[in-house]
Amino acid sequence: MSEGINIQNDEEIQKALEEFELKDGADEARKIAQDTKPEKSSRMADLVIRYSHGYIKDKRQAEYVLLVFVFLTGVLSAFLFFSGGNKNVPPQNDLINESLNKTIQNSDDFK
């Protein structure tokens, strides 16, 4: 079917191929430029990388460290909030009454 077609000598086809290559090359250059655009990293991630003394190498590791830190902080806060303290504390009124009674007894001694 393609035996009688000679693409090498057809100038119109050659021009079309050259235009296609130019457009395709420009599209590829644009894609490469978009892919190599530097990502904005957060200041917190930068601080974690800087103060890790070389243990954390890139932004992704720093973000994981921050995520673990937030999780642990939340667990600790929930534990402290829901622990509620000691429930067997004597009522404050009893302590006040005892101290008032002692004060009254001491004042009776001076009369």
Domain ranges in the chain?
11-81
DSSP 39-94: PP--HHHHHHHHTTTTS--SHHHHHHHHHHHHHHHHHHHHHHHHH---S-PPPHHH
Mean pLDDT rounded to a whole number for the chain: 77
What is the C-alpha to C-alpha distance for residues 82 and 75, in angstroms, rounded to an integer? 11
Q: Over 50: is that where the pLDDT of 1 sits?
A: no
Q: Over 70: is that where the pLDDT of 90 sits?
A: no
At 24-58, the pLDDT tens digits run 666 666 666 666 656 677 899 999 999 999 999 99
pLDDT band at 76 (very low <50, low <70, confident <90, very high): very high
What is the C-alpha to C-alpha distance for residues 88 and 28, in angstroms, rounded to an integer? 73
- DSSP state letter for 4: T
Give the DSSP H or E segment for 25. helix 11-35
